[in-house]
Structure 1
Amino acid sequence: MTIPRNVLRFEVLLYLSLLIDTLSAAFIARPSAEIDQAAAVSADTFVVIVFVFFLLLVWLAARQRKNWARWALVVALALSVLSMLGSLNYGLTLALSVDLFSTGLAGAGLYFSFSDDAEKWFH
């Protein structure tokens, strides 16, 4: 079965968004005096688990045709937007700019998942 073009766009844009999020998380500067080594490892482990979870959701939606996974990604995007609205009070930083770009990619990808030929793909 051939995957519709808009589903491929959805998949590529969501994977790109996740890649950008992962790279930005890898370069977060943590003040070493404030966090001990165990807390840093725990935070890194949590980031990896969340990343793998979202990879799984994108794969389930794009390749396994799971509509609930697509809606879970929509909810995650909405929560991300709400979180960023709160961060705008502190001004536009480089990290926030990267997050805005990544969220824009995810939003565009999710738009494609609800348009044209992609709508028939999900069940």
Structure 2
Amino acid sequence: MRGDEIVVPENVRRFEICLYASLLVDTLSFPFRTIPEDVPESVIAMSALMSASLILLLCHLVWLAARQRRNWARWLLVMALGLSVLTLIGILNQEGWSLVTVIDAASAALTMVGLRLSFTGDARGWFV
């Protein structure tokens, strides 16, 4: 290790791993989503592009929080989790459990664990 390297706290490293794993799960779940027959191809393509863009934005927020120590990015991730959980609850109320909702719930759980780690233990004081 060089003398000028900053050592990332263990909880921050775990936070980063959990959130990247959650985003990977979200990415891999896209093919399992059912699309009604009457939806035009252009809408499907736009939906895929928007999903990919959102995942890339969230990856950038994770990097900003974990590596650049940006507290505001961590709070944006908390808000994104809140919106995700509210959406998941709405879908569960309307459609019930399916493979996609189980995958979404697993992704949300990974995000919850990661965000909790970012507020506890040696992560305290890391974010500015």
Q: TM-score, normalised by structure 1?
A: 0.94
1:47-76 per-residue CA deviation (whole Å, 9 max, x = no partner) reads 111011000000000000000000000001
* Ranges in structure 2 where 5+ consecutive residues have no aligned partner: 1-5
Percent identity of equivalent pairs: 45
* Ranges in structure 1 where 5+ consecutive residues have no aligned partner: none
How far off is 1:7 after superposition? 0.2
Ranges of 4+ aligned residues in structure 1 off by more than 3 Å: none
Correspondence 1:8 to 2:13: yes
How far off is 1:25 after superposition? 1.6
Residue 98 of structure 2 is matched in structure 1 by 93
Which of 106, 109, 112 is the matching residue for 2:111? 106
Contact 2:32–2:100, Cα closer than 8 Å, also in 1: no
Q: TM-score, normalised by structure 2?
A: 0.90
Q: Matches of 1:27 and 1:113 in 2, distance apart?
A: 31
Residue 74 of structure 1 is matched in structure 2 by 78
Residue 53 of structure 2 is matched in structure 1 by 49
- CA RMSD, 1 decimal: 1.0
